Amino acid sequence: MGLQASEDLDDGSTILAGPYHPAFGHLVFSEIFLDRATALLKNHIPLGDTMSIRVHPRSIPKMRGLKNSNINILRKNFQLKTLNILPDAGLAEESVAI
C-alpha cells in the first residue's frame, strides 16, 4: 500500500495527483488498531482513570499512532488519565487486548 518513499517523491516533481505521505502504510495500520482498541474499550467498564492495552511488541508503534495520536484520542474519548500500551509477545501481531 502506498509508494516507497524516495527523494523524487519528496520533492513533489513526480506525483501527478492524489495524496502522498511518506508513512501512509503506518497511518492506515494505526487507524485499524485505533478501531480495534475503541471497540474493546466500548465493551469494557474502566475500573478507574487508568487502562492498559496489550499488543504484540512489533505492533506498539501502530497502536500508539503517529505522534501518539491514538493514545490521545482514546484518552479523550474514554476520559482516561493514563493509557498504557504494554508489549505481550503471546498475542498475534494484529491483536489488541485489555
Kindly report, residue by residue over 8-29, the tens digit of the pLDDT: 666 666 655 566 667 778 889 9
How is residue 98 written as a grid cell?
Answer: 485489555
- All residues at 6 or more sequence positions from 61 whose CB lies less than 8 Å from its CB, including other chains: 26, 30
Global confidence as pTM: 0.79
Decide if 2 is inside a domain.
no
pLDDT (tens, 9 = 90+) of the chain, 98 residues, equals: 555 656 666 666 665 556 666 777 888 999 999 999 999 998 887 667 889 999 999 999 999 999 999 999 999 998 899 999 999 999 999 999 99
Decide if 51 is inside a domain.
yes
For 14, 22, 91, the CA distances from 72, given in Å and listed in that order, are 35, 22, 23
Decide if 34 is inside a domain.
yes
Decide if 42 is inside a domain.
yes
Decide if 3 is inside a domain.
no
Q: Provide the number of structural domains found in the chain.
A: 1
Asked if residue 58 lies in contact with residue 95, where contact means CB atoms within 8 angstroms, the answer is no
- How far is it, in rounded angstroms, from Cα 74 to Cα 40? 11
Decide if 14 is inside a domain.
no
Domain that holds residue 61: 21-97
